[in-house]
């Protein structure tokens, strides 16, 4: 059975009595009432600092927080909830790795990323290279906007120590062959990190089947609150890593001159965690699972194919990226219209899309563009949203 868009939309207060066509889901997503209720009930019923308070609402808050960790572990099929670290999102997750794993490198070591990375999966590695003298290497992309893995020996070498690649490109929509890269990483003995910001919200993820060592994602891109995300990692690597930040809860013992660390995952969660948001993320996962991740992926593919077909019928529309395996992120330009003008015109029709470099300046440079328009689809979008968007696009084209 497909998704009932009418009942899904009714769950999202932002769409009540509104003709908003929201097509900026790769940026952030809206929140269903179920998530808002979970957040409100944390604040109104069980607001107390987790892992610290001995009174009833304190233990209830801790239980709800730790249940969310379990929900996330089950959702991505992690072997244990102890391997789930709460962070503020993908950016913090990758910075955590850059500061811990990255610091162990030296001038003879390589970090391998790709040309299509979001700045969140590029800048932390540049910073690690600056600190340690390690070298940053790139897998290029081909004409279709897929990773060019035709000459793996050029990129995967005995010097490659860390590989960090997006599961799904936030500009081209390309779904990368994570299993293949995991094999290549294993062959050279490198640690393999997946930036799952655009992956886990849109398809069923099984980190054990993917074969990676780390998987990072953000709650706000999957119907959850801002300020919460996660990093999954293999326990044997997490155990030998240094902490990322120092402070409360991440310690075991502290004296005036030194400290010892708490166990994983708490070693990586210094200070009061975003426990309310973590519970909100758990509720978002409940919501997504009630729809079914495979159903969501199938539905998104149908709407994406529909959008690509309709857009191809509009003269002057140029879509960037033609990967065979792709998601519901579609970047494009309209000949003769600057992307920013386009967004402003669409906004007059209450249609929200994103324009700019999408935090992927090296990729945009390789496309010879400084700014592109992007629509991105999620569970509440239907074909009528695409129809309205295309009608508006034609009006803009005719106007210019």
Ligand X SMILES: Cc1ncc(COP(=O)(O)O)c(C=O)c1O
Catalytic center residues = 359
Residue from 29, 100, 164, 218 binding ligand X (CB under 6 A): 218
Asked if 89 interacts with ligand X (CB under 6 A), we say yes
Q: How far is CA 315 from the centre of its chain?
A: 32
Q: Which of 121, 160, 274, 333 binds ligand X (CB under 6 A)?
A: 121
Taking the complex as a whole, how short is the minimal distance between the CB of residue 198 and ligand X, in angstroms?
5
Nearer to ligand X, 114 or 218 (CB): 218
User: With respect to ligand X, which residue has the nearer C-beta, 90 or 160?
Assistant: 90
CA 53 to chain centre: 33
Stretch that binds ligand X, among 7-15, 122-130, 192-200, 276-284 (CB under 6 A): 192-200
Does 91 participate in binding ligand X (rule CB under 6 A)? Answer: yes
Q: Which residue has the tokens 């120590």?
A: 161
Give me the helix-helix angle, 383-399 and 293-312, nearest 10°: 30
* Mutual angle of helices 275-291 and 293-312, in 10-degree steps: 80
DSSP state of 203: S
The single residue among 197, 200, 363, 386 that binds ligand X, judged by CB under 6 A, is: 197
> What is the contact mask toward ligand X in residues 24 to 63, using x (rule: CB under 6 A)?
--x-------------------------------------
Nearer to ligand X, 68 or 218 (CB): 218
Give the residue with the Cβ less far from ligand X, 89 or 280: 89
Contact 376, 328 (CB under 8 A): yes
Beta strands in the chain (DSSP E): 21-22, 84-87, 110-114, 135-139, 160-166, 191-195, 214-218, 229-233, 251-254, 259-261, 317-320, 329-334, 351-352, 354-356, 372-376
Q: Which is nearer to ligand X, 26 or 396 (CB)?
A: 26
- Please give the Cα distance from 262 to 268 (Å, whole number): 9
Residues that bind ligand X (CB under 6 A): 26, 89-91, 118, 120-121, 166, 170, 195, 197-198, 218
């Amino acid at each position: 059975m497909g998704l009932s868009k009418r009942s899904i939309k009714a769950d999202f207060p932002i769409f009540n009595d509104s003709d908003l066509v929201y097509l900026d889901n790769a940026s952030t997503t809206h929140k269903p009432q179920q998530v808002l209720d979970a957040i409100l009930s944390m604040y109104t019923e069980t607001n107390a600092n987790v892992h610290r308070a001995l009174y009833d609402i304190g233990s209830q808050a801790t239980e709800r927080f730790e249940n969310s960790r379990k929900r996330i572990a089950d959702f991505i099929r992690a072997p244990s909830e102890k391997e789930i670290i709460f962070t503020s999102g993908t950016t913090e997750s990758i910075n955590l790795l850059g500061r811990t794993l990255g610091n162990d490198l030296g001038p003879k070591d390589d970090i391998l990323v790709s040309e299509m990375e979001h700045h969140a999966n590029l800048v932390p590695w540049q910073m690690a290279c600056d600190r340690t003298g390690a070298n940053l290497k790139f897998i290029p992309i081909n004409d279709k906007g897929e990773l060019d893995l035709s000459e793996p020996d050029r990129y995967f070498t005995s010097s490659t120590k860390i590989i960090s690649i997006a599961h799904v490109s936030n500009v081209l929509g390309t779904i990368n062959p994570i299993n293949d890269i995991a094999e290549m990483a294993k062959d050279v003995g490198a640690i393999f990190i997946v930036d799952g910001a655009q992956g886990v919200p849109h398809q069923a993820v099984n980190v054990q089947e993917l074969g990676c060592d780390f998987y990072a994602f953000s709650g706000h891109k999957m119907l959850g609150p801002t300020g919460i995300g996660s990093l999954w990692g293999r326990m044997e690597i997490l155990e030998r890593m240094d902490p990322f930040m120092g402070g409360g809860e991440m310690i075991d013992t502290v004296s005036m001159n030194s400290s010892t660390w708490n166990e994983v995952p708490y070693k990586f969660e210094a200070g009061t965690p975003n426990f309310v948001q973590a519970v909100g993320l758990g509720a978002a996962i409940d919501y997504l699972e009630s729809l079914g991740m495979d159903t969501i992926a199938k539905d998104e593919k149908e709407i994406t194919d529909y959008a690509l077909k309709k857009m191809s019928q509009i003269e002057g529309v140029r879509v960037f990226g033609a990967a065979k395996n792709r998601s519901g992120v579609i970047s494009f330009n309209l000949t003769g219209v600057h992307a920013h003008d386009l967004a402003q015109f669409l906004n007059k029709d209450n249609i929200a899309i994103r324009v700019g470099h999408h935090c992927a300046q090296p990729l945009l440079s390789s496309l010879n563009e400084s700014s592109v328009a992007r629509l991105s689809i999620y569970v509440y979008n239907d074909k009528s949203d695409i129809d309205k968007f295309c009608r508006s696009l034609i009006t803009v084209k005719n106007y210019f």
